[in-house]
């Protein structure tokens, strides 16, 4: 992906990424809430308010490119990475093994097929899947900003649904999955 970004000349105004690349990592304080109350969602430290436009990099983008460590199809890995844009009301392209979007849907999340061509998720061949992902990134980066704005705001209900779904179920699901994993590990090793 890095070679692709450089070849296309995509800078900060085009691509939002949370993975470490050229010291452009989005600080963890923006990703996860430390406090949720009637005044809003506070992230990371007490001096940070996600509703303040100038503090939140997620408010400067229409789509995020989320990359998982495992892409080659040897496994489907669902880490914390796709949940960050869910929480921050942002659609994303998921650079992962084929079928990863389907797994997120099975958790009750809605994806962005009305905005993003998600057919890449069904492509088993890694190179062809990456070609499709890169093609979709190019299409989105070349869209008119007004069109992006209109489409983004038309997805408001879907984005809020995903955030609320994570806040209601996501944290518990991770905890429950970890507890189940530990229990299975104890049974298999003892």
Q: What is the pLDDT of residues 135-146, one digit of tens each?
A: 999 999 889 888
CA distance 40 to 54: 16
* 64 pLDDT above the threshold of 80: yes
Residue range 49-78: average pLDDT? 74
The count of residues in the chain is 190
Q: What was the pLDDT predicted at 108?
A: 92
Residue that has been written with the tokens 């999340």 in this structure: 109
**Most confident region among 1-5, 28-32, 96-100, 146-150 by mean pLDDT:** 96-100
pTM score, two decimals?
A: 0.71
- Residue 29 CA to residue 37 CA, distance in Å, equals 17
Helical (H) or strand (E) element with 43? strand 40-43
d(CA 83, CA 15): 18
pLDDT confidence of residue 73: 81
Going by pLDDT thresholds of 50, 70 and 90, the confidence category of residue 109 is very high
The model's pLDDT over 120-137, given as tens digits with 9 standing for 90+, comes to 999 999 999 999 999 999
Residue 177 has pLDDT above 90, yes or no: no
Question: At residue 145, what are phi and psi to the nearest 5 degrees?
Answer: -60, -40
The sign of the CA dihedral 90, 93, 94, 98 is: positive
């Amino acid at each position: 992906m890095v070679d692709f970004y450089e070849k296309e000349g995509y800078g900060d105004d085009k691509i939002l990424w949370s993975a470490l690349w050229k010291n452009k990592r989005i600080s963890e304080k923006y990703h996860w809430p430390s406090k949720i109350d009637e005044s809003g969602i506070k992230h990371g430290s007490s001096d940070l308010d996600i509703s303040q436009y100038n503090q939140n990099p997620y408010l400067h983008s229409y789509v995020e490119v989320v990359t998982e460590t495992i892409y080659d199809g040897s496994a489907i890995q669902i880490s914390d990475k796709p949940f960050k844009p869910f929480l921050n009301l942002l659609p994303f392209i998921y650079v992962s093994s084929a079928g990863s979007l389907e797994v997120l849907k099975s958790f009750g999340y809605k994806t962005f097929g009305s905005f993003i061509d998600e057919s890449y998720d069904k492509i088993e061949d890694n190179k062809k899947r990456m070609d499709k992902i890169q093609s979709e990134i190019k299409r989105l980066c070349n869209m008119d900003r007004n069109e992006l704005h209109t489409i983004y705001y038309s997805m408001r209900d879907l984005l809020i649904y995903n955030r609320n779904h994570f806040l209601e179920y996501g944290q518990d699901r991770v905890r429950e999955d970890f507890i189940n994993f530990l229990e299975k590990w104890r049974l298999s090793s003892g």
